[in-house]
Amino acid sequence: MLRFLALLPIVIGAAVAQALSISVLDQRAETCGNANGSIAVTGFGGQAPYSYDWTGPNGFVASGPELTGLVGGDYVVTVTDALAATANMTITIDSMSELPYGGGPTWAGAGEVTGYWGGACLGQCNGAGAFVDGYSGGTPPFSYFFGVPATYLGYNSSVGGPVYGGFCLGENVEYSYTDALGCSGLGGFLVFGVDGTWMPVVQEVQGACTDAENGSMSLELAGGFPQAITLWSNGQVVATQAGQFGTVTFSNLAAGVYTVIADFEGTQCSLQQDVTVQDLGTDCGTVIGTSW
C-alpha cells in the first residue's frame, strides 16, 4: 500500500494586518477671518508609505499630511497606502471671531528660562510659566496683557511660548492676548504651586531622656517632588536627608524644639514647621527591680 503524506506549512504568530485608518495629530481653527487654520494627519495601519489627497471649500485641493493657511469649513482627506487601500475622513475647521479662550501657562515650561519648575511658593508672588495658547489657534508671535503685575522672563523655544513671572500663589489671573495678525482673545488661570498641603505631616514623635539622644520623629512627605529635609536646632543643622519621598525618620535626637525645613528639589520653594521632642526626665531609661 502506498501512503502519501501532505506537508502543510504552519505559520506561528503571523501578524494580522490592521485596516488602514487616519489619525488627526493637530487641528487649529481659523481666527478673525485670517485664513490661518491648520490640520495635520497621519495614516495608520495598512501598508506604508501613504499618500494624502484633500478637497475643501471653494474648490480647494491639496496633497500631503499637513495643511496650513486654511479658511473655515469641511476638509476631506483620502489616504492611500502602498497596496492601494484607501481611507477617508472629514475634518471641520472652525471659523472663530476671536482667539480661543486661553487656559494659562504650563508651570513646567518655565524651566528652560528660569532653571526650575515655576509653581509659586506659599505666601509669595514668584510663580512663572510658559504660555502656549498658540496650540489652539492664531498666528504667532503673541503679545500678552495681564490683570496683575507680571514680568516677561524670556522665550521657551522648546514649547514655543513666552515665559512670564510674578504670579502670586492662589490668585485668579485674567489676561488678554493678541496674535501677529491683530486677532485677540481672553484667558484666565489659577496660580498653582507649593501650598500648605505640601507640608510634611508629623506621623510620630518619641521623646528623649534628659541629657540623652534617644528621641526620634517620623514625617510623611507630601507634594510631587523629591525633598531635602533638614532639622535645625539652636541655629545649627542637626541632620539632613536629601532626595526623599514617602516617610522620613530622624533618630538619636535630644529633647528640644526642632525646625523642620522641607526644600522641594527642582523648585524654588521650601516649607518649615517646628516639632518638639519632649523631655521625658532623667529616669526615663532607668529600670528598677530585682534580677534573679
pLDDT over 50 (residue 1): no
| 285 belongs to a structural domain | no
Identify whether residues 73 and 138 lie together within a single domain: no
Do 273 and 209 share a domain, yes or no?
yes
Q: 86 and 122, same structural domain?
A: no
Q: Is residue 11 part of a domain?
A: no
Predicted confidence band at 16 (pLDDT cuts at 50, 70, 90)?
A: low
Last residue of a domain, one of 170, 194, 218: 194
Tell which residue, 167, 188, 157, has the closest CA to residue 124: 167
DSSP code at position 64? S
The predicted-structure confidence for 57-88, as pLDDT tens digits, reads as follows 999 999 999 999 999 999 999 999 999 999 99
Same domain, yes or no: 203 and 186 = no
* Total number of domains in the chain: 3
Q: Order of strands across the sheet with 21-28? A: 21-28, 37-44, 66-70
Would you tell me how many other CB atoms lie within 10 Å of the CB of residue 129? 29
Given this model, what pLDDT does residue 284 score? 81
**What is residue 135's predicted lDDT score, i.e. its pLDDT?**
79
**Structural domain of 53:** 21-96
Residue 102 has what DSSP assignment? B
The mean pLDDT value for 261-265 works out to 96
> Length of the chain in residues, anyone?
292
In a domain, 103, yes or no: no
- Reported as a pLDDT band with limits 50, 70 and 90, residue 17 is low
What's the pLDDT score for residue 2? 42
Instruction: Count CB-CB contacts under 10 A for residue 65.
Output: 17
Q: Residue 106: is its pLDDT beyond 80?
A: yes
**Band of pLDDT at residue 257, cut at 50, 70 and 90:** very high
Burial 185-206 (b: 16+ CB within 10 A, else e): bebebebbbbbeebbbeeeebe
CATH code for the domain in which residue 65 is found:
2.60.40.10
Q: Is residue 245 part of a domain?
A: yes
At residue 226, does pLDDT exceed 80? Answer: yes
* Residue 14, pLDDT above cutoff 80: no
State what percent of residues in the chain have pLDDT above 90.
85
The DSSP result for 230-244, as a single string, is EEEETTEEEEEEEEE
Q: In what order do the strands lie in the sheet containing 215-220? A: 201-206, 215-220, 247-253
- 151 in any annotated domain: yes
230-241 pLDDT, tens digit each: 999 999 999 999
**Residue 287 belongs to some domain of the structure:** no
- Distance (Å, whole) CA 191 – CA 147: 13
Biggest alpha carbon distance in the chain?
Answer: 106
